[in-house]
A and B are shown apart, each in its own frame.
Chain A
Amino acid sequence: PCELAVLSHDFHCVCNYFFLYDGSKVRGEADPTRDGICYFYPEETPLDKQELLCGQLAGVGRCVSELSSSPARTFRLRRNKFAIRMKDDFFWALGCSVDVPTVSVSEFLDQLIDLFCFYNGPVRQSYQLNSQETLAAQWARYLSHLQSGSSELSHIFSCLKTIDSTNVDPLLLLKAALILQACQRCPLVLAGCILFRGRVVSTQMSPGLTMKVMIHESETYTKAQRPNGTSASSSFSGTVSSTTVFLTAPELQDLQSAPVDKGFRCCPTTPQRDGPSKKTRLSRTLSDTPSPESQVSNPSLSKPPQKASLSPRLSDSDVFSPASSHSAANSLNPSPQSLRFLSNGENTVEDEAEESRSRDSTGGRSQIRSEGDGSVFEEDSHLNGGEVEGAFGGVFEFQAVESGNEQPHDDKVVEEDSRVSRGSVSGHKAGKSDPPALLPPPHRLSDASEENALIPMTLYMHRVKGLVLALLVEPHFMSDAASMEEVYHSSLASLNGLEAHLRTISPGAPGGPGPYTFAHFDCIQSTLTTNLSGRSGGAWDQPFVRATSLLHSHFCNTETLQEAIIRSACTAVYGTRSVAQETYFQQNGGSLRNSGIPNHQDSAFSLPSKARHRLLKHGVNLL
């Protein structure tokens, strides 16, 4: 639902300085400041200057945080504006020009640190494990990624780059969404997104998470198919790669409660769901003996019967059909692998008939990890509050999956079962999908909680030329050949088709300066729609960007503010916002000859109605 301005200045430099300083390395009087400098941008800065900035800012930061008993947040200087983060002994500072709104600078730094942690895990730990040079390259990479190819507006809003939806057949977007949903049928897949040439086509993840995933994509994209360093699955001819990433607890929780995948995700996993819910109590008591009462407790969930009436194939094509009907992926048929995959893991638990077996298989496992399960549980019920049931189910699911992995099995009956339930139960399985399954084994969790709970996961990427399917998956997904094959083959044809279509879409020609300029920011999806073309560099652009940046800060700082009109001698900008969006509108051309005295005939005051009118055709509804 969006388009982007960008395209023009491919490198818009906002960041003047960035550094990470480790105060723990400079304890004694004799310790030189340079020992504490982990990374400094621009790297060519003379060391003296680096030391000066790091030493002074970190010193003042400490002093201020002592005086106020709270970490410093921003430092403003005459020529630079620094966002500051202080954590443990680390001190980050990101310096931008003073024109950039403070909220934006702070957000920029948060993103940067988050990106680092996403790909490298806890900062302290990664500096223990890796050389400073390696990590310096990482920082540089993230920094240039965040700065590159974006317009001033996108810096103001920190928005996601998305494909121009006005040029794209909506069915293609639907297809992309369906591909993602199909992938999610593998219980090891948490969520995914599809990117095309560095822009989002469809995503199931939060904007923040999507943004993090995108950097890896753009990286591999520019490296043009070079085998990925982290790990490339040989069997998929280098188009598939994966890397370890780290999620924060809230992100994980987000994925758990994400409404995106509800409908479809449930399909394949519903049977599991029932299983888990039956066994929740077991898990809670750290025993896996399924207890009958749990079954009773969940009559609605246990309704999917064992009898399969639909063929797996049929349901499969159901899922894919809307997309495939519009794409070359038509040919896609569920491969045997996919079927097997679907059965994989689920069967062991789900089937009542199989219950004893599943008890055995999971039993062994849970014994080993019983302690961990307990802790997982506690946390889980915490996170999910009232919806314990789903969460428990998730945990259980995880176990089930694991056990499935251990014991290859092809139980036809079970398979059919899952199909059926997919068809029938999908509706009521909203709420919690299986995110708890993401919770790491106990030892990892405890590690993580020390460092603000960063939980290792795997980012799986499947590239088809300019198109990338990125999935967040359980770490052991990559070692689970069956699951991988399933996901790979189930999506390959659709991806090819989608890519072929997207490739043929020519980017909409940036029109010259129109009669008006607008920007519409969707706060929920973090997307920006604007007709501001950086390329044309119209005379009206600068005033518009300036006004937008001011108003955006004002909106951020004043919750009750709904709309505003601001006018200088040459320009008038209207801004309005709701919880979900911010919209800015400027009428171009025609001199605003006025004396500044209140006058209801003044054109500035007709901006709200004009905006409502004009923006309708851009899909922006201000009513």
Chain B
Amino acid sequence: MKCLLIASESAEMLFYWTDLEFQQNIQKQYGASQEEGHEFPAFEDSISTLFAPIIISFSTMVTEADSYTSFTTENNHIYVLHQFDECLYIAVNGDGEEKEEDLRRKIYVMNKMIEVLFGMVTLSGNLLRKELRARDTEQRLRLWKHLQSLLETYSHLRENDQSFLVEAVERLIHPTLCEQCIEFLERRLVQQINSSVERGGEEVLHAFILVHTKLLAFYSSRNASILSTSDLLALIIMAQNMYPSNVDVDDPSPEVQSGDSLSNSTDKDIDSTSGSGHESFYTPEPSPTDKDSSSSGGLLSRAFMAEDSLSTLEVYPPDPATPHKVFLEVSQKDGLYPMMPHSMYCLKLWPGITLVLLTKFPHSGVAMSVYTFWEAFAKLEKRLNEGQGGSTRGQPMHEVRSKLDKFLKTLALNGIQVCFCVLLCFCVEWLYSSTLPQHSLILWCKNMKTQLCGIYRQCFLSDSGPDDTPRHLSPGLRERAQTMVQEQLMDWKDFLLVKSKRNITMVSYPLSDFPGLVHFICVDRSSGQMIAPSLSITERTTSELGKGPVAQYIKNKMWSLVSTTRHYLQKGYSTLTLRDGDFYFCYFLWFENETGFKLEAKDIPIMPDDSAPIGMLAQNYYRKLLRYYSKNHPGETVKCYELLTVHLGVIPTEIILQHCRQLASKLWEPSRNPLL
């Protein structure tokens, strides 16, 4: 019984997602309060009516400077509430499968996905509200369905994929192949695309190949900024959402067979029919008219019943080949720009293997200007709010003005929205000279910020671009890129699919070295990457842990251990050992400098229970932690590592700790693992 909804302050439903059970519960509740004989109300109406008192009470309490963060009931239902700007997120669980932290994380991840999809528009509650609740029903339902499907994809990954459990990227461990691929991406693919006339003014910044959720190769062009782990994880969710790899059904063995028999064939249609288990997620070569049933997600269709307006209206997902606008963080010499526009091309090579290209638009520099300008207003507003008006007003105003000048030049260059900008300019001019009281100035700042978000929306979100030039890589170019990579990887594809399931195995950690070691996860938080033996628990595949209940048990323990360690980390504890049932769990977090020298532990900030979840996907905790720690080590590159282990409880503690030490030093040894 699960639900997540977003509501405006006026209790308007901006988005909701429920599972079937929750939906039935709501209908039962609502039905009970309705007169008999009445028709079933639209589900959206029921849910918003039932939640309205909570939403309104939340706003009331906010005005009293306190606000709800969670509720629990005697039958262990959990409600978690969090407000981002003017949007209130409520997540509910009634089946015991998620804990409070999980729900909070889900809320933050949902918010992250919305940021990736809407960029700076999320900075204006009003604009975001219009975006999420489009007046056109069909458009709204299409968007909601997309978001619902993203949320389900994320939940599925979080529950089943170790890299989404710890929120770090997992790489396929195959140094030679990886190197080849990177070289190929750099020398041939990206170069070719970026020099093509068909690229429509776009420029490929990043290219990477995913095998299921694991990263095979990642290439960034020289003038691109680093892609943050948070964004990369979000993009993997989007790619998975488009081409779900159904691990429960999937099995590498038929894949191998079909690969063998058709290894010379490049005909994807034949390929698609050969593997018996793959129809459910296989998408034929994308074409504009193709209605890809898989990308809307099988889970979703199950979750919604016929009377639901969402499913009665058939919503076609957009063509997967059309690029997605995504808004990602860009770090430049002069600072950090969150939510800068990019296009994301997700090209399916084979089921389970995807090529992702990230490009920037020709005029994306405007976004930076809009952002700096917005930031300047935000700063000014903050200072005014802090009551430092009057004397200090001049300085930030100057700042704003000089930025505005620069901004206007850029805009004029592009010939867009000139009228609007003139108006803006006029306003700032007037602000500068005015002797308005403080609160009106604050209002002005707010207004300006909204206007800027409006410009941003106009430029980067609306379908009509700033000019009429084609803004995408042409379909032909995309197809060529796809074919190129397919040819390159043809001989490897089956190997890759198997490898992704058995990336590293416990077998490679011989029993003689680590007797009693059951499982481990090691994470490099500085690079956002993790290593762990695969933990496959599907019926048909057998991991070293066996299959069925034992593997499932270990998996559940691992999942709960991660949530426990986060809880202690939040409270400032960086080392943890637990004897739980027949197992012994260890968790260590430590810092090293670049040469591998272990740095002394330092007290970690203690945070309240309702603070942002610890992880890297939404609100990168580890980045803040590293920044905090680095203060004492100026000029040094600080790295942060985490190690989790599960041992049999009968092993003496000293031995367990020795194992942990060996793992910690071995795993990241360059000789052993050149990629990491």
Contact = CB atoms under 8 A, between A and B. Distances in A.
A184 B73 CA distance: 42
B660 interface: yes
A599 interface: yes
Contacts of A554: 564
B601 A595 contact: yes
Interface in A92-144: 98
A566 interface: yes
A596 B564 CA distance: 18
A546 B571 contact: yes
A567 B578 contact: no
Given A68-B77, A563-B578, A56 B57 contact: yes
Interface string A589-614: 00001111111101011001000000
B633 interface: no
Given A75-B68, A560-B581, A567 B610 contact: no
Main secondary structure of the interface of B (DSSP, over half): mixed
Interface in B574-611: 574-581, 586, 588-591, 598-604, 608-610
Interface string A557-600: 01011111111111010000000000000000000011111111
Nearest to A52: B64
Given A59-B53, A562-B580, A566-B573, A596 B661 contact: no
B462 to A, nearest CB: 37
B520 to A, nearest CB: 11
Contact of A74 (B61, B71, B564, B654): B71
A78 B75 contact: no
Contacts of B70: 74-76
Interface in B424-464: none
Interface in B619-676: 643, 653-654, 657-658, 660-661, 663-664
A593 B50 CA distance: 55
Given A78-B69, A565-B576, A568-B574, A595 B568 contact: no
Contacts of B590: 595-597
A60 B54 contact: yes
10 contacts: A59-B57, A60-B57, A78-B610, A550-B568, A550-B573, A565-B576, A569-B600, A569-B602, A595-B601, A598-B661
A596 B579 contact: no
Interface in B361-408: none
A63 interface: yes
B71 A75 contact: yes
A568 B600 CA distance: 12
Contacts of A75: 68, 70-71
Interface in B82-103: 92, 94
Nearest to B81: A76
Contacts of B73: 64-65, 68, 70-73
B96 to A, nearest CB: 12
Contacts of B26: 67
A74 B578 contact: no
Contact of A598 (B64, B564, B588): B588
B580 A596 contact: no
Interface in A496-517: none
B26 to A, nearest CB: 8
B71 A596 contact: no
A568 B603 contact: yes
Given A565-B576, A569-B603, A64 B57 contact: no
B29 interface: yes
B574 A596 contact: yes
Interface string B59-76: 011001011111111110
Contact of A68 (B66, B75, B653): B75
A237 interface: no
A77 B81 CA distance: 10
A59 B574 CA distance: 41
Interface residues on B, range: 35 or more
Nearest to B660: A598
B658 A600 contact: yes
Contacts of B51: 63, 67
B154 interface: no
A166 B132 CA distance: 67
A333 interface: no
A233 to B, nearest CB: 43
Most chain B Cβ neighbours within 10 Å, of A547, A560, A570:
A560
Interface in B497-525: none
A204 B573 CA distance: 41
Contacts of A604: 575
B591 A79 contact: no
A598 B653 CA distance: 12
B81 to A, nearest CB: 9
B609 A76 contact: yes
Given A565-B575, A596-B575, 9 more contacts: A56-B57, A68-B73, A70-B73, A77-B69, A78-B608, A561-B578, A568-B601, A569-B601, A572-B575
Task: Report the 5 A-B pairs with minimum CB-CB distance, sorted nearest first.
Answer: A598-B660, A600-B657, A596-B590, A595-B598, A70-B75
A375 interface: no
A46 to B, nearest CB: 12
B66 A78 contact: yes
Contacts of B661: 597-600
Contacts of B643: 598
Contacts of B658: 600
A241 to B, nearest CB: 38
A220 interface: no
B243 interface: no
A139 B232 CA distance: 56
A597 B599 CA distance: 9
B306 to A, nearest CB: 24
Interface string A464-493: 000000000000000000000000000000
A60 B579 contact: no
A564 B574 contact: no
Contacts of B571: 546, 550
A66 interface: yes
Contact of A77 (B67, B567, B577, B657): B67
A77 B68 CA distance: 4
A98 B573 CA distance: 19
Contacts of B29: 66-67, 69
B576 A566 contact: yes
Contacts of A63: 50-51, 53-54, 57
Contacts of B564: 554
Contacts of A65: 73
Contacts of A600: 653-654, 657-658, 661
Contacts of A561: 578-580
Nearest to A65: B73
B657 A76 contact: no
A446 interface: no
B465 interface: no
A550 to B, nearest CB: 6
Interface string B28-69: 010000000000000000000011011001001100101111
B475 interface: no
B208 interface: no
Contact of A568 (B64, B79, B573): B573
Contacts of B288: none
A597 B661 CA distance: 7
Contacts of A546: 571
A583 B482 CA distance: 62
Given A56-B57, A60-B71, A64-B71, A605 B664 contact: no
B548 interface: no
Contacts of B580: 558, 560-562
B572 interface: yes
Pick from B25, B67, B73, B599 the residue with the most CB of A within 10 Å. Answer: B73
Given A63-B54, A566-B568, A596 B72 contact: no
A80 interface: yes
Given A67-B29, A70-B73, A569-B604, A56 B575 contact: no
A97 to B, nearest CB: 11
